[in-house]
């Protein structure tokens, strides 16, 4: 199988994968205790799917008993720009690097299927491919296969490609020569912990997702805790701070996949370019993007929080228009944003004008807070 592995590495490289490693599905380090503690403390927030089929995450063999090898692949999406720069401009919108072009699930799934077909033609047997599509413990498997190690921010880090990595998996019912597992190289560094705006990395290797800006702006439904809103700054979709400061990124290579190169209009877009989007415009603008999956209302919620944090009165008229939005979530955040950017006297007048017309208790609560 050594020759097959050599051919596999070559084919994967042709398809654009930067790292290809393999391990036994039984080789992953035990994640049971730490993962169950994560769930018990409710650190997963509204991500209820994490508590489903836990045994699959703890033992990939349960997911597919026929699996004899797990092929772990990684592809770099290192940006051509400094993603921290936009944070200096509060009237701009900060969008996580991974979402500044095509949805990586779609791009990588296509590559994986191509590699899987090649593997079947080359060696026969059966395969299963995964890109965040099943309860597969990608990061522990990635470490077991030698792609990298789980850093203190809980993301995978590679000595060759830093933190900017998309992970994907192929389960194979044949044995392929395994790679050596990676060891931890974080040392005494705490840059990712220190930079986190909300203190979501509560200690090394432990994340409270309920405080994480990526979770709050993407996975969380409903209003965001008012104590966290000001800490979000102008981040309207995700957060890259802990990834961006990782010292291992100095070795990272730029992505060779054009679909991962950021669209110019999404690197430092004006908040004003988003605040008036209705549902149809939102869907058209973000067609083919991972941003589309959170829906227009949550997206505008995020934009309004960024607008409020800008403290810029130029947004007042746009925010006032959203006080009449069909979505109570949008109206709630419009009230909060207005309170941040308007003078107290003006805000009180807006409240007198609108509160009697409001029927939603959560929106009223924002007016009265």
Residues involved in catalysis = 132
Distance in angstroms (rounded) separating the CA atoms of residues 196 and 239: 9
Distance in angstroms (rounded) separating the CA atoms of residues 271 and 286: 15
Angle of the 328-341 helix axis to the 361-368 helix axis, nearest 10: 10
β-strand 235-237 against 94-95: which pairing, if any? Answer: parallel
Q: DSSP of 152-200, one letter per residue?
A: TTSSEEBTTTBT-EEEEEEEESS--PPPPPP----TT--HHHHH-TT--
Token pair 């921010």: residue: 153
The residues near 298 (Cβ < 8 Å, ≥ 6 apart) are 217, 221, 329
Token pair 């549902």: residue: 279
């Amino acid at each position: 199988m050594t020759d097959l592995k050599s051919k596999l590495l070559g084919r994967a490289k042709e398809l654009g994968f930067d790292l290809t490693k393999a391990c036994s599905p039984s080789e992953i380090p035990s994640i049971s205790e730490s993962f169950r503690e994560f769930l018990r403390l409710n650190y997963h927030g509204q991500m209820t799917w994490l508590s489903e089929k836990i045994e699959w995450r703890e033992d990939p063999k349960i997911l597919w008993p026929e699996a004899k090898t797990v092929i772990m692949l990684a592809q770099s999406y290192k940006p051509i720009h400094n993603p921290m720069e936009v944070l200096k401009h509060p009237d701009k919108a900060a969008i996580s690097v991974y979402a500044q072009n095509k949805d990586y699930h779609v791009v990588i799934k296509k590559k994986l299927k191509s590699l899987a077909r090649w593997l079947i033609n080359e060696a026969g047997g059966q395969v299963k491919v995964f890109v965040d599509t099943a309860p597969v413990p990608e990061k522990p498997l990635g470490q077991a296969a030698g792609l990298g190690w789980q850093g203190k921010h809980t993301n995978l880090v590679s000595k060759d490609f830093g933190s900017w990595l998309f992970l994907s998996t192929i389960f194979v019912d044949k044995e392929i020569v395994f790679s050596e597992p990676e060891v931890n190289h974080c040392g005494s560094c705490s840059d990712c912990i220190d930079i986190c705006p909300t203190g979501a990395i509560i200690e090394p290797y432990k994340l409270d997702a309920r405080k994480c800006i990526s979770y709050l702006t993407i996975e969380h439904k409903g209003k965001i805790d008012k104590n966290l809103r000001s800490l979000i700054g102008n981040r309207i979709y995700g957060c890259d701070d802990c990834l961006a400061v990782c010292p291992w990124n100095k070795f990272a290579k730029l992505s060779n996949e054009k679909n991962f190169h950021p669209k110019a209009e999404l690197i430092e877009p004006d908040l004003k370019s988003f605040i008036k989007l209705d549902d149809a415009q939102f869907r058209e603008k973000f067609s083919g993007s991972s941003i589309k999956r959170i829906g227009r209302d949550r997206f505008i919620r995020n934009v309004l929080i960024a607008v409020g944090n800008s403290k810029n009165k130029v947004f007042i008229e746009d925010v006032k228009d959203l006080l009449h939005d069909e979505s109570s979530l949008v109206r709630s955040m419009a009230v909060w944003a207005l309170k941040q950017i308007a003078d107290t006297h003006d805000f009180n007048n807006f409240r007198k004008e609108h509160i009697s017309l409001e029927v939603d208790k959560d929106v009223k609560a924002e007016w009265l807070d």
